[in-house]
Amino acid sequence: MGGLQKKKYERGSVTNYITRNKARKKLRLSLPDFRRLCILKGIYPHEPKHKKKVNKGSTAPRTFYLIKDIRFLLHEPIVGKFRDYKVFVRKLKKAYGKTEWSAVERLRENKPTYKLDHIIKERYPSFIDALRDIDDALCMCFLFSTFARTGKCHVQTIQLCRRLTVEWMNYVVAARALRKVFISIKGIYYQAEVMGQLITWLVPYQFSHDHPTDVDYRVMATFTELYTTLLGFINFRLYHSLNLYWLPCTLLDIKEEEAQLDQFPVEGAREREQKEQEAQKKLFDGLKFFLNREVPRESLAFVIRCFGGEVSWDKSVCIGSTYEVTEETITHHIVDRPNASTQYINRYYIQPQWVYDCINAKIVLPVEDYFLGVTLPPHLSPFVEEKEGDYMPPEKVKIMALQRGEKPEEEDEDEDEEEEEDDNDDEEEDEEEDEEESEEKNLKKMEKQRSQGKSLQVKVTPGKMKVENPERLEQEEKAEEKRLAIMMMKKKEKYLYDKIMFGKKRKIREANKLTAKRKAHDDAEKANKKKTRK
Amino acid sequence: MEESSGNMRSSEPTAAMKKVREKTAKKRSKEEEEEEEEQIFNFKDKPAGKEEEDEDLSDSEESVFSGLEDSGSDSEEDEKESDDNDDEDDDDVTAVESKQPKQTEEEEEKEEVVGGVTEREEEEKKEDEYEHDSSDEEDIRNTVGNIPMEWYKDFPHIGYNLDGKKIFKPIRNKDELDDFLDKMENPDYWRTVHDKQTGSDIVLSDEQVELVNRLQKGQFGDVNFNEYQPSVEFFSSDVMIHPVTNRPADKRSFIPSLIEKEKVSKLVHAIKMGWIKPRRVEDDTRGRFYDLWAGEDSSILGRHKMHLPAPKIPLPGHQESYNPPPEYLFTEEELALWEQQDASDRKLPFVPVKFSSLRQVPAFSRFIHERFERCLDLYLCPRQRKMRVNVNPEDLIPKLPKPKDLQPFPTTQSLVYRGHSGLVRSISVSPSGQWLASGSDDGSVRFWEVCSSRCMKTVQVGGAVKSVAWNPNPSVCLLAVALESVVLILSPSLADRQVVQSSERLLSGQPEADTSDAAGPVIWSDTEGEELNQGIRLKIQHPKAVHQVAWHAKGDYLASVMPDHSSHLQVLIHQLSRRRSQNPFRKNKGLVQCVSFHPVRPYFFVATQRSVRIYNLVKQEMTKKLQANSKWISSMAVHPGGDHVICGSYDCRLSWFDLDLSTKPYKMLRHHKKAVRGAAYHRSYPLFASASDDGSVIVCHGTVYNDLMQNPLIVPVKVLRGHVITHDLGVLDVTFHPTQPWVFSSGADATIRLFT
């Protein structure tokens, strides 16, 4: 045949991938360093389409990276810094071993450091890109800022995280960018809209952490290193966009000369949306809050200020309180206790959930449900957007009605009546069905008797007009048509169709289950109520 | 010691002496305690009083001997040796520093302690000063040196004096008793000390006792010594007019130091080579931010196109709320299920909990875990673009013509033919469409009038009927019945006389002479008696059980199937007019399921287990082999045009073959849920039907176009149900009315149903 024999696994998709170990060797880095590099540069493994081919015939589980990615890493200046650091550590060890303290000191002073600015710029070529990816950064920084100084990470990191998160919150307050808040069992979710990007972050509750042992804090620290840099730059840019002075770690310093934006006419839905948003931004304008000492101060202060409310707290809790409890103009006093000892007449005493629910509903909700000692209405997630056919909790329906401006009615009696009516309807339907069934049975019986040639009980009964429902017939016809058409589907399509329908059905089933559960619960409640009334 | 310090006081600081003095000052600390004591004893020792002067003299002499004066400028090593390794080091520096103050101390000390000594002695000492050196560490009365005196225990002497003469031990024969007596009687016993070096007892004076006490208390020996007197700072930050020392500057302070030069040049070289870097300026640019995206230009291409941004964390639902609606809380079963499930199978990674107020919400214990897992996901998970099929399921349903537009087809069950007591295996309609014949497992063949569902005739054949087939020739009225190993030809006489006569004529054809070789074991026989009365005219005895009979369109030929794995005798073709049978195949090509004649052309279809073979009867060769792609063919029907075949199979499929296209099925119809038992084409309407064990008959519209370019259009139009499933068997056979769009089906529930 002539020609060289073609070797296996030298062409095709093999050439696009490289295993992790090979990549490591190519970069001449240790595994932890390689890990750090991947984290910082945002390199992740790829799953080849044909794993066995890429793995040179072996089926052993391996991690593959794109060879292009690895080549891209080769030119990274930080790799050099990593090596420098390795040398530094070696020298330092040696100096320690020889107890040459002056050398140790000298080495310490020349400890190699690196900056991540260029990496940020490279990973996020435009500011919007960076904003899009800030969710994780915020979550991580908020987490690290709550760490105690227990040696899980450097104190400077904790302080930096704290500083950056405070800066971020200040920006959100100044820009009135907050949209949604959700108190979950994990922590508090916030969602803000910055430059058109929805940014969601989760803040843990202010408790000391129970540090798990099976978590690699080095990995987390590397991520935090990247995220703090990213967040710092973003904060800087955001502050400048608002004409705020960016003074690291100072409290708000607003220059109140927001440029008047040119108003462009916007139409229809957009306009309404914008108006709604404007209204939401001024939700708490003119309200004065006072926080009791047991409520989460930082979260509430942040949230209230985001929507234009004034807030203060007891002087002994934290610095920054602006007015006292005794202030006459306070409109809402937020308390998280079964009862308050001294009550002022001209203010509402409410539970903290009211604030969050108001924000999510975008209106100031009636305070009655949130008084002290009252069983709170459920706190719903503002992130769930129900599509048609999804289950919607009744509380949400109520809130939506409130949003539309409808007044809540006297519920209990109405509900009862409705239910009764429903029951009646059901019964009627049942009856109809029963009749039909019985008719059919009779017919069958007669048929049987006739065919078997037995003597019939000759009896002439006046025949009933069988009412044919044309609509129903049409529907049935259509349904049959569909059924028949489904039979003619190709195998592949049918599989897909079945899957989709299965999913739909499951959804419906789940929704039904929730409805049933709710109904059972409500019934139980009602029964309880009646009992107590009696 | 005192002597030496005394010496020092008035000494003129010669170079040599100075050095020595330094040393002594340095050593002073420890020796003092031991030696001082001794020396004081010495002074106070009255018997030895005379010696003292000698000793002092000899002291100087000794120091001459030891050569200390010469070695004054020498290194300290010599000194140490000469000191008999008395004591070890202090730092030179400290020694120098402490030199001056000590001198003063010593002066006073000396004055005090030596107070008891006579003036004369002092005078003498003054004279001696220059000859003496200051080394007084040794006891000069005995020259043995500082050795353990036990070594002399066994000798009569205890050492040698300066002249080399033995010093004898004082004669003492004190035994224990003497000692005791002494203790009891001598008031000075407590202050008597035994001097090992001289072997004599010394009684301490009051001053000496006091001195000992003071030393034991850790106080200075001198009562008048003020330890807190202000120290004079000789070396201080203040610049003084006069130098502390008068010493002229060294020569080396005027000439450049070579060593330093070498050091400097080394450093310079290291700096030049870049080995030593200047001390890094503390830069805090790490935490300093600026407008990174100031020069934002789109020219920077981000990543290559393979880059995928990480998906965001899904947003929380109502379940995660601290105060969720009650329907989202787990019931007990759900909770148990959740606990049983593996962490990866769980729908929710947490259990929804309800808290009545915000202050009761605890910290989430897996918070750090979740963040960490997110981190791992970000850098360890391969990312893949998953195309989510976002298709409307309605679009997937093929657009077919409406069944309404494809009428006529049977839609409703109109008649039920009851009478059989066993399952009805086979039915057949007469070519006129007036009569229906059915064969059942109860051993009877029944003839029904189609329109009235009346059973016209029942023929007991005496065995389970496997198959019935009406002769398709309208000019004769004959029915072939297969049961066990016999094929019966029935003439039901349900027609005009003319037709009956013509069929009689056909049956009366004479058998050919040779029935020997080709047909082999087949025996044709006429019937008589009872059977004849019933209408059974002919009996064709086969060697094996017959499963199916099929007529040729002309009505003269009849094919019967005897499925058998092992032999080539599975199909027989009988000619009725000549009463002749023949086996068309010489080879066994598989288990034959059913056979059929081509409606117009001389082709013969044989369905084996997995394929359909088409034979040209004229050329006597196989023309085509159709692959059914199914496990086991059950039935087969040929389109009246002859170009299409449908095959039902036990694996629920119905395959449509277009003989012009390929040997593979043109369409596989998986309409039935269970095995397909029968299939039939309508003779004139574009309809076909399939019967299955799931109790349903599915009628499909199947238009066949004359245009070769257009494929047949197959549309299912109706699912007919009516038969009751008995013993897992549903509908066993299906056949169409020859002229009307009606379909008959026979089932295992012993009924035959007509759908119109």
Residue in chain A lying closest to B278 (CA): A110
Using CB atoms, pick whichever of B292, B359, B376 lies closest to residue A117: B292
Name residue, tokens 């003054």. B126
**Omega of the bond leading into B408 within 30 degrees of 0 (cis):** yes
Measured between alpha carbons, how far is B60 from B140 in angstroms, rounded to an integer? 10
Distances (CA, A) of B340 to B334, B343, B369: 10, 9, 21
Query: Cβ–Cβ of B715/A488 closer than 8 Å?
Result: yes
Q: Does A64 touch chain B (CB under 8 A)?
A: yes
Hey, which residues 295-324 in chain A have their CB within 8 Å of chain B?
295-296
Asked whether A143 and B370 are in contact (CB, 8 A), the reply is no
Distances (CA, A) of B692 to A268, B420, B671, B728, B746: 60, 20, 10, 11, 11
Is the pLDDT reported for residue B550 higher than 50? yes
Measured between alpha carbons, how far is B350 from B692 in angstroms, rounded to an integer? 50
Query: Cβ–Cβ of A136/B292 closer than 8 Å?
Result: no
B239-292 pLDDT tens trace:
888 877 888 888 888 998 899 999 999 999 999 998 877 777 766 655 578 888
Measured between alpha carbons, how far is B689 from B674 in angstroms, rounded to an integer? 15
Tell me whether strands B413-418 and B200-203 are parallel, antiparallel or unpaired. unpaired
Measured between alpha carbons, how far is A295 from A337 in angstroms, rounded to an integer? 9
Measured between alpha carbons, how far is B116 from B446 in angstroms, rounded to an integer? 165
Measured between alpha carbons, how far is B533 from B527 in angstroms, rounded to an integer? 9
Measured between alpha carbons, how far is B140 from B161 in angstroms, rounded to an integer? 8
According to DSSP, residue B529 is labeled: H
Name residue, tokens 């589980």. A61
User: Which residues from chain A sit within 8 angstroms of residue B279, using beta carbons?
Assistant: 106, 109-110
Per the rule left: phi > 0, alpha: psi between -120 and 50, beta: everything else, A70 is alpha
Using CB atoms, pick whichever of B306, B368, B380 lies closest to residue A209: B368
Measured between alpha carbons, how far is A276 from A280 in angstroms, rounded to an integer? 6
Encode burial over B510-544: b for 16+ CB neighbours within 10 A, e otherwise.
eeeeeeeeebeebebeebeeebeebbbbbebebeb
Name residue, tokens 């450097």. A154
Is the pLDDT reported for residue A68 higher than 90? no
Chain A nearest C-alpha distance from B335 (Å)? 15
Query: Cβ–Cβ of A381/B321 closer than 8 Å?
Result: yes
Chain B nearest C-alpha distance from A514 (Å)? 6
Q: Does A220 touch chain B (CB under 8 A)?
A: yes
Measured between alpha carbons, how far is B646 from B11 in angstroms, rounded to an integer? 142
Residue in chain B lying closest to A35 (CA): B379
Q: What is the mean pLDDT of residues A200-215?
A: 88
Q: Give the relative orientation of helices A31-41 and A77-97 as an angle to the nearest 10 degrees.
A: 140
For B298, other C-beta atoms within 10 Å of its C-beta total 8
| Token reading at B328 | 């989202």
Query: Cβ–Cβ of A135/B313 closer than 8 Å?
Result: yes
Is the pLDDT reported for residue A389 higher than 60? yes
Instruction: For residue B489, list its beta bridge partners.
Output: B480, B538
Q: What confidence score (pLDDT) does residue B7 get? A: 41
User: Which residues from chain A sit within 8 angstroms of residue B298, using beta carbons?
Assistant: 125-126
Of residues B534 and B743, the one with the higher pLDDT is: B743
Asked whether B718 and B699 are in contact (CB, 8 A), the reply is yes
B650-680 pLDDT tens trace:
988 888 888 888 888 888 888 888 889 889 9
Is B239 strand, coil or helix?
A: coil
CB–CB contacts below 8 A, A to B: 267
Mutation pick from B327, B417, B754 vs chain A, by most beta carbons of A within 10 Å, is B327
Hey, which residues 509-528 in chain A have their CB within 8 Å of chain B?
514-515, 517-518, 521
Instruction: For residue B46, list its beta bridge partners.
Output: none
Q: Does A257 touch chain B (CB under 8 A)?
A: no
Q: Does A96 touch chain B (CB under 8 A)?
A: no
Name residue, tokens 């973003």. A234
Backbone Cα Rg of chain B: 69
Is the pLDDT reported for residue A91 higher than 90? yes
Residue in chain A lying closest to B294 (CA): A237
Using CB atoms, pick whichever of B324, B350, B397 lies closest to residue A378: B324
Chain B nearest C-alpha distance from A405 (Å)? 23
| Token reading at B592 | 């034959």
For B338, other C-beta atoms within 10 Å of its C-beta total 17
Encode burial over A172-201: b for 16+ CB neighbours within 10 A, e otherwise.
bbbbbbbbbbbbbbbbbbbbbbbeeebbbb
Q: What is the mean pLDDT of residues B367-375?
A: 91
Query: Cβ–Cβ of A136/B374 closer than 8 Å?
Result: yes
Is the pLDDT reported for residue A281 higher than 60? yes
Q: What confidence score (pLDDT) does residue A202 get? A: 93
Of residues B349 and B106, the one with the higher pLDDT is: B349
For B611, other C-beta atoms within 10 Å of its C-beta total 19
User: Which residues from chain A sit within 8 angstroms of residue B321, using beta carbons?
Assistant: 182-185, 378-381
Name residue, tokens 């520096």. B93
Q: What confidence score (pLDDT) does residue B116 get? A: 43
Specify the range with the lowest mean pLDDT, choosing from A226-230, B21-25, B422-426. B21-25
Q: Give the relative orientation of helices B15-31 and B92-113 as an angle to the nearest 10 degrees.
A: 80
Is A521 strand, coil or helix?
A: helix
Hey, which residues 485-514 in chain A have their CB within 8 Å of chain B?
485-491, 493, 496-497, 500-501, 504, 514
For B455, other C-beta atoms within 10 Å of its C-beta total 17
Query: Cβ–Cβ of B397/A395 closer than 8 Å?
Result: no
Query: Cβ–Cβ of B296/A486 closer than 8 Å?
Result: no
User: Which residues from chain A sit within 8 angstroms of residue B320, using beta carbons?
Assistant: 182, 184-186, 381
Chain B nearest C-alpha distance from A46 (Å)? 5
Query: Cβ–Cβ of A125/B716 closer than 8 Å?
Result: no
Tell me whether strands A310-313 and B486-490 are parallel, antiparallel or unpaired. unpaired
Specify the range with the lowest mean pLDDT, choosing from A228-232, A337-341, B412-416, B631-635. A337-341
Mutation pick from A153, A186, A448 vs chain B, by most beta carbons of B within 10 Å, is A186
Measured between alpha carbons, how far is B102 from B96 in angstroms, rounded to an integer? 10
B201-238 pLDDT tens trace:
888 889 889 999 999 998 888 888 888 888 887 777 88
Asked whether B520 and B543 are in contact (CB, 8 A), the reply is yes
User: Which residues from chain A sit within 8 angstroms of residue B718, using beta carbons?
Assistant: 484
Chain B nearest C-alpha distance from A437 (Å)? 18
Mutation pick from A484, A514, A528 vs chain B, by most beta carbons of B within 10 Å, is A484
The residue count for chain A: 534
Residue in chain B lying closest to A474 (CA): B404
Encode burial over B40-67: b for 16+ CB neighbours within 10 A, e otherwise.
bbbbbbeebeebbeebbbbbbbbbeebe
Mutation pick from B290, B292, B652, B715 vs chain A, by most beta carbons of A within 10 Å, is B292
A354-383 pLDDT tens trace:
999 999 888 888 888 888 888 888 898 999
Measured between alpha carbons, how far is B117 from A243 in angstroms, rounded to an integer? 97
Q: What is the DSSP string of B141-199?
A: T-TT-S--GGGGTTSSEEEE-TTSPEEEPP-----HHHHHHHHHH-TTGGGEEEETTTT
User: What domains sit in chain B, N to C, each tagged with a CATH number?
Assistant: 403-510+520-755 (2.130.10.10)
Asked whether A219 and B372 are in contact (CB, 8 A), the reply is yes
Q: What confidence score (pLDDT) does residue A418 get? A: 41
Query: Cβ–Cβ of A140/B371 closer than 8 Å?
Result: yes
Is A517 strand, coil or helix?
A: helix
| Token reading at B225 | 């010594």
Mutation pick from B319, B397, B421, B690 vs chain A, by most beta carbons of A within 10 Å, is B397
Using CB atoms, pick whichever of A187, A204, A496 lies closest to residue B389: A496
User: Which residues from chain B sit within 8 angstroms of residue A454, using beta carbons?
Assistant: none
Is the pLDDT reported for residue B371 higher than 80? yes
Query: Cβ–Cβ of A186/B331 closer than 8 Å?
Result: no
Asked whether A297 and A317 are in contact (CB, 8 A), the reply is yes
To which H or E segment does residue B267 belong? Answer: helix B258-273
Chain A nearest C-alpha distance from B227 (Å)? 38
Number of alpha carbons in the 13 Å side-chain half-sphere of residue B238: 7
Distance of CA B724 to the CA centre of its chain: 55
Q: What confidence score (pLDDT) does residue A293 get? A: 86
Distance of CA A70 to the CA centre of its chain: 33
Residue in chain A lying closest to B399 (CA): A485
According to DSSP, residue B726 is labeled: B
Residue A416: pLDDT band with limits 50, 70, 90: very low
To which H or E segment does residue B439 belong? Answer: strand B435-440
Percent of chain B with pLDDT over 90: 5
B455-492 pLDDT tens trace:
888 888 888 888 898 888 888 888 888 888 888 888 87
| Ranges assigned E (strand) in B281-371 | none
Full strand arrangement of the beta sheet holding B654-658: B633-638, B644-649, B654-658, B667-669
Residue B195: pLDDT band with limits 50, 70, 90: confident
Q: What is the mean pLDDT of chain B?
A: 76
Measured between alpha carbons, how far is A27 from A24 in angstroms, rounded to an integer? 5
Residue A135: pLDDT band with limits 50, 70, 90: very high
Distances (CA, A) of B731 to B548, B678, B723, B734, B747: 17, 8, 7, 8, 4
Measured between alpha carbons, how far is B245 from B235 in angstroms, rounded to an integer? 11
